[in-house]
Amino acid sequence: METVEKSNNSNPHLPVGYSLVPKGKLANAVTCLEMTEKPASREANLIPGISLERMKAPDLVAYRQLFRLVGEDWMWVSRLVMPDDRLTAILQDPLVEIYVLLAEGRPSGMLELDFRQHGQCELVFFGVAKSSIGTGAGRYLMDKTLSIAWAHPIERLWVHTCHFDHPNALPFYQRSGFKPYAFMVEVTDDPRLNGVLPRTAAPHIPILG
């Protein structure tokens, strides 16, 4: 999902009541969360076979493969449709840090932190592969995330999640110290109808169209 704080704020507020979403479109309820104080230090629990490695200027193919592995079932599409030159510029920016979670040496999760806004860090992407859900890998990754982000001179760490994500995502972020501060609604084309994602992706979200 694209950064919500960089979205077009000139869009009018939604009217009270129901709004019909055209067939072929998706309406995504987004919760924005932030952390404005460094949390108490917490060592990441050591899990046998789990480690985190920095991906420095990853190539597009490797990055998008990891992006699909982690996000396909949660409707992650933004980096799949982003023009190559724009994505390359992000991946090569020294103020953007990308990490891969490894389980027994195999990619099993990803973390992307964006420090391009002075004094702030956006937790752009965070997630583990299906095979690592429920193993403690998510908590390990979050502990590492907080340690890495707050090692920088920031005053705010922020993230957004949505109802397309795993049902435990929002309470997980809140337990980790993030506090909700805004709701947004994003309307997009259904990527399963235009071939960006397979029709089997995100089975918890109905296809209309």
Q: Does domain 47-189 have CATH number 3.40.630.30?
A: yes
pLDDT in tens, 75-112: 999 999 999 999 999 999 999 999 999 999 999 999 99
Beta strands 106-114 and 120-128: pairing type?
antiparallel
8 A C-beta contact, residue 184 and residue 9: no
The reported pLDDT for the residue numbered 82 is 98
Domain ranges, ordered by start, for the chain: 47-189
The reported pLDDT for the residue numbered 9 is 54
Q: How far apart are CA 97 and CA 115, in angstroms?
A: 8
**Alpha helix (H) ranges present in 124-166?**
137-150
Which residues, 6+ apart, have CB-to-CB distance to 11 below 8 Å? none
What does the block give as tokens for 201?
């992706």
3-state helix, strand, coil in the chain (%, to 5): 25, 30, 45
pLDDT in tens, 97-153: 999 999 999 999 999 999 999 999 999 999 999 999 989 999 999 999 999 999 999
Burial class (CB in 10 A: 0-12, 13-18, 19+), 8: exposed
The reported pLDDT for the residue numbered 189 is 96
Report the predicted TM-score, pTM, of the whole model to 2 decimal places: 0.91
Q: How far apart are CA 108 and CA 106, in angstroms?
A: 6
What does the block give as tokens for 77?
């599409």
What does the block give as tokens for 131?
């095979």
pLDDT in tens, 45-74: 778 889 999 998 899 999 999 999 999 999
Average pLDDT over residues 195-202: 96
8 A C-beta contact, residue 164 and residue 205: yes
